[in-house]
Chain A
Amino acid sequence: MSALGKMTASETRLFLRDPGAPITVVGIPVALLLVFSLIPGASEPNAEFGGNSVMANLIAPLAVAILLGMLALTIFPAFMATYREKGVLRRLSASPVSPSTLLMAQLIVNLVAALVVVLLVVVIGTAVIGMEAPANPLGLTVSIVLGTAALFAMGLLIAAVAPTGRAAGAIGSAAFFPMLALGGVWVPKEHLPSFFQGVADVLPMGATYNALRETWAGGDPQLLQLGSLVVFTVVCLVLAARLFRWQ
């Protein structure tokens, strides 16, 4: 097997052995779905959401956005920063395999985890809970891909600046929770003052969440949402590439 293949297998084992990562990554999105589905009528068409159910319009997009945010902003940067802090990356630079291979392996593991849980959310949501399937699957896929790119680019920037794994987790959470609030998670975007509506479509968590809401209901993602995700991806990657240190 190639070094990347070996390393990805190894990182998969380490991810699954982590005391927190697999439980939070699978548990929180699935629990969100199941708990809210217990509210009577949550999966029924609702006039307030243009005929969509609360589950499809709010909860399923939230489950996906939270999943991506947790993986990209806290779990992935904490792994990478810990590897730098403990000298794992440095040890690799003294071997025939570059530490960038470990970064690639980490990204693969996280992206596969994200894909698995997104599918889980869609399958459980439609087959078990009985909410509507995404009405604009192509738009939803584009939104998830761009959202994932923007959030992981931010995660890479966090991994670049955080001196320790613990610090990376803290910085990640400090970015994650305010972005959730500003993204319109507690108060839906349409009830926010107009300035905050703009903010909700610009910051990556909110842009992802709101694009998912639009496309789940059958609409198209807004240009502002997709555009800002692309800009965030590029800016964060450029900064991360400048700031990232292997040791």
Chain B
Amino acid sequence: MPIIDVQNLHKRYGDKVAVEDVSFTVERGEIFGILGPNGAGKTTTVECIEGLRKPDGGTVSVLGLDPRRDTAELRQRLGVQLQESELPERMKVREALDLYASFYRNPANPDELLDILGLTAKRDSAYKKLSGGQKQRLSIALSLIGNPEVAVLDELTTGLDPQARREVWDLIEHVRAGGVTIVLVTHFMEEAERLCDRLALIDSGKVAAIDTPAGLVAGVNDEQRIRFRPSRPIEDSVFAELPEVRSVERRGAQLVITGTGNVLHAVTSVLARRQIIAGELRVDQANLDDAFVALTGRKLD
């Protein structure tokens, strides 16, 4: 039985439709991504899962509970990290964790959480003295303080520098290893590709596709483009006759070869046999951005 089951969710604000028709399920233990551009309806969708908003249509079930009816029970078992929610600026890190720990039946150990999140040195720092990455880690800590079975994390690395972002990603993998099911809302392709077991691409309030990151990319286009400057001249036909190769072009001193499947291996084998070195070698593969464009006709950002 799925841990989260969303069927035909519909939500509008006045006459503006935020979520047209969204359905998906999340299985226990997975990291499920909801990826889409700003304004696609991602946040509204998870707010309905969190019981913060009332759907105008469709059904939502989380841990077998109805988020609007069994709210009290849901709050105990679902951890939430909200976009743009802060703490009082003079509250200290440890105080925030202690306060939130007191809200739950079976809280996690605040000191252990601080340690896992690398905030032990900051335990007596006021919230306003924390860096963006530290605030974000504290926000994740608060979402986990109740020992939740599911954590919903909304735009968790927005505004972080690349170093802090990678730290947060490591942390999420650590949390999942501890058995927590994670729903991750993001508009970063790289984040979704790195973390998610499966993801739903959402555009204009509808699900464009649900699959693994690799599945989404492969389903769209598995063409690869290989560019290099050979160390000595080589005729195009050597490559053109390989079954994996689709086209061979010359751009000045560079060869540009496109193909599918194991094209990279086929090309490098030819080069190795002839003892030709590929200078300035670059391989471009389709990624989730391309998949999103192919599925919706729009770019992610």
Contact = CB atoms under 8 A, between A and B. Distances in A.
Interface of A: 1, 3, 6-7, 10, 13-14, 17-18, 82-83, 86-88, 90-91, 93-97
Interface string B56-95: 0000000000000000100110001010111111110001
Smallest CB-CB A-B distances: 3 pairs = A87-B85, A94-B80, A86-B86
Given A87-B85, A93-B52, A94-B75, A6 B102 contact: yes
A96 B143 CA distance: 12
Contact of B90 (A1, A14, A83, A91): A14
Interface of A is mostly: helix
B99 interface: yes
A4 to B, nearest CB: 10
B80 A1 contact: no
Contacts of B91: 10, 14
Contacts of A88: 85-88
Contacts of B103: 3, 95-97
Given A3-B102, A6-B99, A6-B102, A94 B88 contact: no
Given A10-B95, A95-B103, A96-B75, 19 more contacts: A1-B102, A3-B102, A3-B103, A6-B98, A7-B99, A13-B95, A14-B88, A18-B90, A83-B88, A86-B86, A87-B85, A88-B86, A88-B87, A90-B52, A90-B82, A91-B142, A94-B75, A95-B80, A96-B76
Contacts of B99: 6-7, 10
Interface string B100-128: 10111000000000000000000000000
B75 A87 contact: no
Chain B interface category by residue count: 20 to 34
15 contacts: A3-B102, A6-B99, A7-B99, A14-B88, A14-B91, A17-B90, A86-B85, A86-B86, A87-B82, A88-B85, A88-B88, A91-B85, A94-B50, A94-B52, A96-B72
A96 B87 CA distance: 17
Contacts of B90: 14, 17-18
B146 interface: yes
Contacts of A97: 103
A7 B88 CA distance: 12
B82 A95 contact: no
Contacts of B85: 86-88, 90-91
A3 B72 CA distance: 14
B287 to A, nearest CB: 33
B104 A96 contact: yes
In the complex, which of the residues A6, A17, A91 has the most CB atoms of chain B within 10 Å of its own CB atom?
A91
B295 to A, nearest CB: 31
B63 to A, nearest CB: 14
Given A14-B88, A96-B146, A91 B82 contact: yes
B276 to A, nearest CB: 59
Contact of B84 (A17, A18, A87): A87
B140 to A, nearest CB: 13
B138 to A, nearest CB: 11
Contacts of B86: 86-88, 91
Contacts of A13: 95
Nearest to A2: B102
Nearest to B78: A94
Contact of A95 (B84, B88, B98, B100): B100
A14 B128 CA distance: 13
Nearest to A96: B75
Nearest to B98: A6
A18 B90 CA distance: 8
A4 B198 CA distance: 40
Contacts of B88: 14, 82-83, 86, 88
Contacts of B72: 96
Nearest to B85: A87
A97 B146 CA distance: 12
Contacts of B84: 87
Contacts of A83: 88
A244 B100 CA distance: 24
A82 to B, nearest CB: 8
Nearest to A83: B88
Contacts of B146: 95-96
A226 B88 CA distance: 37
B101 to A, nearest CB: 9
Nearest to B139: A91
